[in-house]
A and B are shown apart, each in its own frame.
Chain A
Amino acid sequence: MSPIDVARAVRWTRLPGPLPIDHGSVDSAQWRAICAQCRAEGGRLAALWGSDERAAGQGFLVHAIVASAQRRFWITLGAGDADPRFPGLGDLFPVASRLERALFDLLGVSSGAPDTRPWLRHEAWGPADFPLRRDFARADPMAPGAPPYPFVAVRGAGVHEIGVGPIHAGIIEPGHFRFSVVGDEILRLEERFGYTHKGAAKRFEAMGLVDGARLAGRLCADSSAAYAGAYAMAVEALSGCTVPPRALWLRALAWERERIANHLGDLGALCQDGGLAFGHTQFGLLKERWLQTHDRLFGHRYLMDAVIPGGVAYDLDAAACRSLDAECASILETTRRLQDIVDDHAGLQERFLETGRIDEARVRALGGLGLAARASGIACDLRVNTPLPPYDRLQTRIAVRPQGDVAARVGVRFDEIYESLRLIREVLAQLPGGPVRVPCDGHGGLFGVGIVEGWRGEVLVAITRSPSAAAHHVHIHDPSWQNWPLLEHAVLGDLVPDFPLINKSFNLAYSGHDL
């Protein structure tokens, strides 16, 4: 049988909700065949995780969501009970390698891949403890003296290693970067994360489905609206609840505002790292005023608790809409002026151009997505490729730059600010009337998924419910999983002192990754 026939043999169920996605239970041959076919079509692995369904007599389940141009499939494979394992996907999708290591750390389901180093596990729990198993209840004092993590060593004349983190010199999240360098030139970068792992999936299990939205919005604060939005979509899909149109439009407003807030902050930080403090001051002020508007009209500077299952927690009257529109006009004018200055600034451009380059072929091979992929010439954007309401009525113009360097990632941010400002004004102009939320209790189906094009890329939330009990499992996938490996490649051949600038140009999540 060809892979296509194998995939045809699966009984697919279209999941409720606006997102076109089919779910199917597969055997291990189908598991591999469907993924291989997706890879052959130029698709990618969107998420890979597991759940413990032993109480329902299903053993451990492994789930993957794969996406090709227009279609998404969620496949579920039984991995057994006593010695659970499944066929790994690392040969098809590079990102699978870290995802499989994380899956083993949390659930003890093995992919049989050669790299068995822990990924999320540090010394908080032992190699034979699996915290996401439902019978895991321990919170022992920490096991002291975990063996040091075996980084890959680079040997050769004049090569030495620089280890940075988990605590960094600036005010950023914790993670470890291990550089192998000759002089100042970077030969290899190896990342080590998991420092901010807070057991969020376990915490979700202890919260109600509806209440869980508060937690979803507090896993990665710069993407709070995107996370809460994807979570809400998943709960709504599970419950079969229909969100009122006004709420959908108001959500898009929040997501576009979140994108602009982050882009403004990043542009300021990139100016700072590039040596133009003026830019940091100016963009910092723009962002601050933008956040104050969030606080005033959406209830929180980072939009926490603004998006809830069933709708949104805020509403805007005509005066609020007018003031938001006027704010867009003013920020557009100022940002244009600042871009003019940034583009003309020889010193800054000298730092940005050709620095931290990663080309399209490499990004495709690694499965990169979101802003970083668009800055390497890849036209991927959920709002454009699979426009869910209201984006189906907004004709989002995608921002793509081919160069793949820091300058391109700066350029995409400017382009996206302008486009998001346009979208916000469109939303304000077309905002339908009606209620902004409906009750959504989370009862109903077994599988629910939500995806939002957050400012970094697609944020995915998948919720499974056990058929037997009220137990549920929440899995959240941040696009940083795909994009952190891009950074490892982008820095090759660059100088160590340029690393902060290159890192900032990606600005990937730690807390959102370490879940």
Chain B
Amino acid sequence: MHKLIRQILKTGIVRHPPSARPEAPPEGCAEGRALVAQLGRAITVRHVDAGSCNGCELEIHALGNALYNLAALGVRFVASPRHADILLVTGPVSRAMADPLRAAWEAMPDPKRVVALGDCARGCGIFTANYATLGAVSAVIPVDIAIPGCPPSPETIREAFAALMARS
């Protein structure tokens, strides 16, 4: 136990430095403010991988590390779409995930919003529409906010959520 405590003390409290690289603001941020007005200061997010390469997921995981600490913004990931305000979707929507994606969206209570994370989900990634892929989240459900990047850096995602959470 003493080793564990010593390691915690040695690590200290890490803080996220102010963004070094200003990146393009997410599309639809004005829309985001309206959302916060509706939802208040804490939001719950359900993630759906609609055929991503797992890169966008790796960065969602990174958001949970001590540096980005998304939870501190008031953003919480939940297991069921029924508990979610926001559906965070990655991938170009493989056709096999189109129905599960639509079902997750339909299960969410109103008001609800959809965030398309990454270039694939936005419809401008390396995977174009074909026999197996619809090519964009907006081909299946309405998208409110799109976050660019392949994958978007944790800073970009964090800033998009921070913009969402900012007082309008």
Contact = CB atoms under 8 A, between A and B. Distances in A.
A98 B1 CA distance: 47
Interface in A115-133: 122-125, 129, 131
Interface in B64-106: 64-68, 77, 79-80, 91-92, 94-100, 104
B61 A265 contact: yes
B58 A222 contact: yes
A202 B49 contact: no
B131 A136 contact: yes
B126 A285 contact: no
A431 interface: no
Interface string A329-352: 000000001101100110000000
B96 to A, nearest CB: 4
A199 B130 contact: yes
A119 B3 CA distance: 49
Interface residues of B, number: 52
Contacts of A197: 51, 94, 96, 132
Contact of A214 (B14, B47, B51, B126): B126
Interface stretch (A171-179, A372-380, A387-395, A457-465): A171-179
B97 A285 contact: no
A212 to B, nearest CB: 10
Interface residues of A, number: 58
Contact of A123 (B4, B95, B127, B129): B95
Contact of B8 (A172, A194, A278): A278
Contacts of B62: 284, 287-288, 291
Given A139-B129, A278-B8, A337-B7, A511 B97 contact: no
Contacts of B127: 198, 200, 203, 218
Contact of A220 (B54, B97, B129): B54
A9 B7 CA distance: 64
A221 interface: yes
Contacts of B150: 218, 304
Contacts of A509: 54
A302 B61 contact: no
B3 A341 contact: yes
A174 B131 CA distance: 19
Contacts of A200: 127
Contacts of B95: 122-124, 142
A202 B79 contact: no
Nearest to A124: B95
Contact of B11 (A131, A218, A285): A285
B123 to A, nearest CB: 14
A166 B52 CA distance: 13
B136 interface: no
A338 B96 contact: no
A124 B54 contact: no
A301 interface: yes
Interface string A138-174: 1100100000000000000000000000110111111
29 contacts: A124-B94, A124-B95, A124-B132, A131-B131, A136-B131, A166-B96, A167-B49, A167-B104, A169-B79, A170-B79, A171-B47, A173-B57, A174-B49, A195-B100, A196-B91, A196-B96, A197-B51, A197-B94, A198-B130, A199-B131, A200-B127, A202-B132, A220-B53, A278-B8, A284-B64, A288-B66, A288-B68, A302-B55, A341-B3
Given A172-B57, A222-B58, A341-B4, 4 more contacts: A131-B131, A173-B52, A214-B126, A511-B52
